[in-house]
């Protein structure tokens, strides 16, 4: 028991040094013959070590392997993206279990391995596991995460047609899948069916509410968000201010309506806050043009001991963009690496490039692109340069941006038309005609002047 507790401590703290010490102890005392402890050792290496080699070695040392041993190894290979090896192991497992299917389905969903997920689904059907609640929920969730929300829905419907009891996990997995794939209206219609028809006497849980509120924020549908808010208050045993996940989702919904009064009051009433809470307020203020409040909240976040993440900086840069504060935006981009040890992403660079372009500061915008840690060849950044340079009539910059974009996406007709129109507007008819000829070579018919 005490060894199992020590392994648990390793999982929690990711203390690989302690884990290796336990490994040595198991070898010296011959306890490695205990399959349960040997499996815990594999789990320790899987969770605490970035290398799959240690997991494989621990597996090789097990004399009496069981199905769980194989499951741990297979899931570990999935976690590091070794799909082919995981697929091979799946075929080698002497007797795959229900939990083999569940574990692999969860891994496929998290990593987007659709092809392997379909094979797991086939195994579940052949093995008679497809009507098991746990397997079904895993498949519904995994297909949704892979973008196959129609398949996810079909599995869910098939289960209902077979009169097998669906539970809150089934409903929530289906709803979450549609939300993650931008099908908010469909997700909300499923939620309405769940609560209005009261099928199978299932009540939404916290994850269900958060998913539906996310759909309301994405659409946006503020009125539906308010209805879901009221239903949570009416049916939940806990108050909104005691539930940080629900509160974060509500802050996002209400801030998209232009109303920051309720989010501010809710934020102040929260007993517990996390990074997402602070980010929701920072982004909400920035979205509504209240850049001073956004920056103030950012300062308070740091004082409260929370480290900003990539989303925090998106909110700050968005606020700078809305208010035309290009110098402040540049400073915050620099601070990501210098102060917070964060690597800027394309969306960070894109916001700043767009801001500098709107301010006609193209030399600086191009320098931002060239220094991008994630690489300079990104359509979003160069698209922002093309659009703003066209507005300002900077033909040299527009031409450079367009040529880069032609290389990145030769089939995008809109880029050619935009550049052609800029040349035409500047009286450079020959260049405009040259671009139109390129369009003809692509067999594209488009009215001159349309964009």
Over residues 366-390, the pLDDT tens digits come to 999 998 887 888 888 999 999 999 8
Q: What pLDDT is attached to residue 212?
A: 95
Q: Write down the pTM of the prediction.
A: 0.65
Split at pLDDT 50, 70, 90, the class of 100 is: confident
pLDDT in tens, 403-421: 999 888 887 788 888 888 8
Q: What pLDDT is attached to residue 215?
A: 94
pLDDT in tens, 299-321: 999 999 999 999 999 999 999 99
- What's the whole-number mean pLDDT along residues 104-123? 82
Q: Provide the 3-class DSSP secondary structure of residue 99.
A: helix
Residues of the chain with CATH 1.25.40.10: 375-451
404-428 burial, b at 16+ Cβ within 10 Å, e below that, comes to bbbeeeeeeeebbbbbbbbbbeeee
> Any idea what the Cα angle at residue 426 is, between residues 421 and 431, rounded to 5°?
65
In CATH terms, the superfamily for domain 375-451 is: Tetratricopeptide repeat domain (1.25.40.10)
**In whole angstroms, how far apart are CA 164 and each of 60, 118, 130?**
41, 22, 11
Question: Cβ(59)–Cβ(32) under 8 Å?
Answer: no
Residue 145 has which token pair?
């995460």
pLDDT cut 70: percent of the chain above it: 93
- pLDDT at residue 295 tops 70: yes
């Amino acid at each position: 028991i005490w060894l199992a507790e020590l392994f648990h401590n390793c999982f929690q703290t990711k203390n690989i040094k302690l884990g290796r010490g336990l490994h040595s102890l198991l070898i010296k005392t011959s306890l490695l013959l205990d399959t349960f402890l040997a499996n815990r050792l594999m789990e320790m290496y899987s969770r605490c070590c970035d290398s799959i080699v240690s997991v494989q070695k621990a597996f090789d040392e097990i004399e009496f392997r069981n199905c769980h041993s194989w499951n741990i190894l297979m899931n570990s290979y999935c976690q590091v993206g070794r799909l082919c090896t995981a697929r091979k192991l799946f075929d080698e497992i002497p007797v795959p279990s229900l939990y083999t299917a569940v574990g692999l389905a969860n891994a496929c969903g998290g990593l987007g391995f659709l092809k392997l997920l379909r094979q797991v689904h086939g195994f579940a059907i052949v093995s008679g596991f497809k009507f098991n609640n746990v397997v079904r929920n895993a498949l519904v969730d995994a297909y949704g995460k892979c973008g196959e929300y129609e398949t996810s829905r079909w599995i869910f419907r098939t289960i209902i047609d077979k009169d097998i009891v669906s539970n809150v996990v089934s409903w929530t997995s289906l709803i979450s899948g549609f939300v993650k794939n931008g099908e908010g209206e469909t997700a909300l219609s499923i939620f309405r069916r769940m609560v209005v028809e009261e099928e199978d006497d299932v009540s939404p849980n916290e994850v269900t509410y958060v998913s539906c509120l996310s759909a309301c924020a994405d659409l946006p549908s503020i009125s539906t968000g308010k209805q879901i808010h009221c239903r949570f208050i009416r049916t939940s045993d806990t108050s909104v201010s005691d539930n940080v996940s629900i509160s974060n989702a509500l802050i996002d919904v209400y801030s998209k309506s232009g109303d920051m009064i309720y989010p501010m009051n809710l934020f102040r009433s929260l007993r517990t806050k996390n990074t997402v809470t602070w980010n929701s307020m920072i982004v909400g203020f920035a979205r509504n043009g209240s850049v001073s409040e956004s920056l103030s909240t950012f300062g308070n976040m740091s004082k409260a001991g929370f480290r900003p993440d990539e989303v925090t900086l998106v909110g700050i840069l968005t606020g700078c963009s809305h208010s035309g504060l290009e110098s402040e935006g540049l400073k915050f981009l620099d601070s990501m690496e210098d102060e917070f040890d964060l690597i800027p992403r394309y969306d960070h660079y894109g916001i700043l490039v767009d801001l500098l372009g709107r301010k006609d500061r193209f030399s600086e915008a191009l320098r931002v692109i060239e220094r991008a840690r994630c690489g300079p060849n990104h359509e979003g950044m160069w698209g922002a340069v093309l659009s703003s340079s066209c507005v300002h009539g900077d033909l040299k910059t527009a031409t450079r941006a367009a040529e880069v974009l032609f290389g990145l996406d030769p089939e995008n007709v809109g880029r050619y038309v935009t550049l052609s129109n800029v040349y035409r507007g500047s009286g450079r008819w020959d260049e405009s005609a040259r671009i139109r000829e390129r369009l003809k070579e692509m067999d594209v018919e488009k009215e001159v002047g349309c964009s």
